[in-house]
Amino acid sequence: MSNLVSRSRRKLVATALATTTALALLSGSAAAAEWKYAIEEALEEVQGVYAQKFKEHVEANSDHTVAIFPFGTLGESADTTELAQMGAIQFVDLSPGFTGSLIPELQVFLLPYVLPEEPDILADFYKTSETINKELAAMYEQQNLHLIDMFPEGEVVMTTKEAVKAPADLDGVKFRVMTTPLLVETYNAFGATATPLPWGEVFGALQLNMIQGQENPMFFVESTKMYEVTDHITFTGHNTFTTAVAANKAFYDGLSEDDKAVVSAAADAAYEHIIEYQKGLQDEALAKIKEAKPSITVTTLTDEERAPFREAAKKVRDKFVEITGDSGKKILEGFEADIEASTKRVKGDG
């Protein structure tokens, strides 16, 4: 029943947005348009900061305007992704944690202990990776989406009701994950009981003890007050949260060359801005959490303590290849080669 309700809601929203667009075109210049852009977070969070910089650049360099729709205004991530595919909105943020069910190869971003932890290497990798910007970009096209950009949002941390120092500490813990198969595999391998849930249900589920843990970047843990319903934060170093920005393919293909150049330049400006913006963001968020809840415990696992999690991650890697076949194996190999190239470039070894 909930899926039927969700589909009906998306159709109603799509119709309303399409009508608004048509009226705007009738009442104003056909050359200028309002581009609708839905994000998975609030305006003051990382995706919102990126989107506002994108909007600023577009509006300063064209006659177009950009309307940003924060999380919840057009539904959950599945809703906004479908609205973008339908062409009801022009731009959308869609993290691989949700779109991995649409494009299985995107789950490469969810593999634990594959992405580098160093921010400078990450920033170079997302910008220069041919695996991302060519191979994976082509897979978006098959879903009626055009990949505009990808960027990191910070190291993922676990927040739980009980302390976590080893996989055994996750035994019996119902751990919320995004609705994609590889995250289920990851937390089951880590010893927990993976529990897929839409984001809107997570706070209440933790409050009612229906689940006992979740993962997200530190800024999001702070802004969404996840620390109020969990007591322990653990840095395991297992992943970085990734976000993609995509456009409806038909919309993008129909843009003039000048407008495509505006979109590309806006994405470049927003990317540079968000990388700079995130410097120190994790520490600032953690300081706010500690001030709001002095009893919170924060643990960074040592290399020795991470070893059993790394060992468990091998099973997840095998599962990824099993799910995605030769295509996924090729993506993973290219992914790791691109990371190595970025590492050499940033460290001056290549």
CA 215 – CA 155 distance, rounded (Å):
10
Q: What are phi and psi for residue 177, nearest 5 degrees?
A: -130, 160
**pLDDT at residue number 24:** 43
**pLDDT at residue number 19:** 47
Cα 20 off chain centre by: 28
CA 131 – CA 114 distance, rounded (Å):
14
**pLDDT at residue number 2:** 39
The one-character DSSP state at 182 is H
Domain spanning 157-239+282-321: CATH 3.20.20.70: no
Nearest Cα neighbor of 85 from 145, 137, 140 is: 145
CA 268 – CA 242 distance, rounded (Å):
17
Domain assignments of the chain as residue spans, ordered by start:
2-153+241-281, 157-239+282-321
Residue that the structure tokens 């595999």 belong to? 185
Nearest Cα neighbor of 94 from 143, 60, 134, 24 is: 143
**pLDDT at residue number 13:** 56
Low-confidence ranges of the chain (pLDDT < 70): 1-30, 349-350
Residue range 272-282, pLDDT digits in tens:
999 999 999 99
Residue that the structure tokens 């006992």 belong to? 212
The answer to whether the 2-153+241-281 and 157-239+282-321 domains have the same CATH topology is yes
CA 122 – CA 120 distance, rounded (Å):
5
**pLDDT at residue number 219:** 94
CA 296 – CA 232 distance, rounded (Å):
6
Tell me the CATH number for domain 2-153+241-281.
3.40.190.170
pTM: 0.88
